[in-house]
Amino acid sequence: MTKLHTVLITGCLLALSPLASAETVNLTNSAEGANRDAGIAAVKKKLQDACTDRKGSPDTDSFEVVFDKTSDNPNVPKPYYVDGKMKCELPG
């Protein structure tokens, strides 16, 4: 075999490998909590669970709060609302 054939076959094998076809996606979700920390923890947990349910690995360092709001209604048991997003590495 020539060097060109070896390089082409190696490239094809790498292209077909599962790591080469892995996909990074952004997951978004929302949650409520009794306070800000509880709301953030709840949405982070939901995003991690959603990623692992898809057989992916969550990138917890990429987590960020997109939106948060506290309800003005004192009768709401979980007045803190949080939207968040996180990257998830899915297998190909």
pTM of the predicted model as reported, rounded to 2 decimal places: 0.74
pLDDT, tens digit (0-9, with 9 covering 90-100), for 5-43: 666 566 655 555 555 557 889 999 999 999 999 999 999
Q: What is the reported pLDDT for 65?
A: 95
Q: How far, in Å, CA of 62 to CA of 33, rounded? A: 21
Q: Is the dihedral of CA 59, 64, 68, 74 positive or negative?
A: positive
Among the CATH numbers 3.30.43, 2.60.40, 3.30.1660, 2.30.30, which is that of 22-90?
3.30.1660
pLDDT, tens digit (0-9, with 9 covering 90-100), for 42-68: 999 999 999 999 999 999 999 999 999
Whether 71 has a pLDDT exceeding 80, the answer reads yes
* Better pLDDT: 4 or 77: 77
| Nearest Cα to Cα of residue 25 among 79, 73, 87 | 87
